[in-house]
């Protein structure tokens, strides 16, 4: 395990950079993680991040299909907001574990 400093807070992360304690997450922390991932966050990004955090808190599985059906964002926009590997990037920025569906 490693420690990264985001927004002045030392945060434990796993080998892939995902936060181990999601209670340390804040918008400021998310903004700094996003910079590392090459993403500049907007209000729409935070809507998606809040959706993801709520789903995970409720023990629900995350998929791109589920995000597409969320009413928050469609799949095309999701890929635009988090280019490359959208679910991986979005969950990392949201401070939650990488979904099992991501390799």
Q: How many residues does the chain have?
A: 103
Q: Return the pLDDT at 102.
A: 66
The verdict on residue 16 lying in a domain is no
Q: Return the pLDDT at 99.
A: 77
Query: 10-residue block means of pLDDT along the chain (103 residues)?
Result: 92 94 96 96 97 94 91 95 94 89 65
The verdict on residue 44 lying in a domain is yes
Dmax of the chain from CA atoms?
A: 36
Q: Return the pLDDT at 103.
A: 60
Cβ atoms of 97 and 62 within 8 Å: the answer is: no
The verdict on residue 19 lying in a domain is no
The verdict on residue 90 lying in a domain is yes
Q: Is-catalytic flag, 72?
A: no
Considering the candidates 64, 72, 85, 102, report the single residue annotated as catalytic: 102
DSSP tag of 95 = T
Beta bridge partners of 5: 10
Q: How many domains does the chain have?
A: 1
Q: Residue 55's domain spans which residues?
A: 30-94
| CA pair distance 103, 50, nearest whole angstrom | 23
């Amino acid at each position: 395990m490693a420690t990264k400093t985001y927004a002045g807070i030392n945060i434990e992360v796993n080998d892939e950079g995902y936060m181990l304690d999601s209670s340390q997450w804040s918008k400021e922390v998310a903004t700094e993680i996003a910079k590392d991932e090459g993403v500049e966050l907007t209000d729409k990004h935070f809507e998606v991040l809040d959706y993801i955090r709520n789903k995970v808190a409720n023990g629900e599985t995350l998929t791109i299909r589920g995000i597409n059906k969320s009413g928050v964002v469609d799949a095309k926009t999701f890929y635009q907001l988090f280019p490359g590997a959208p679910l991986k990037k979005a969950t990392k920025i949201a401070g939650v574990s990488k979904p099992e569906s991501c390799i």
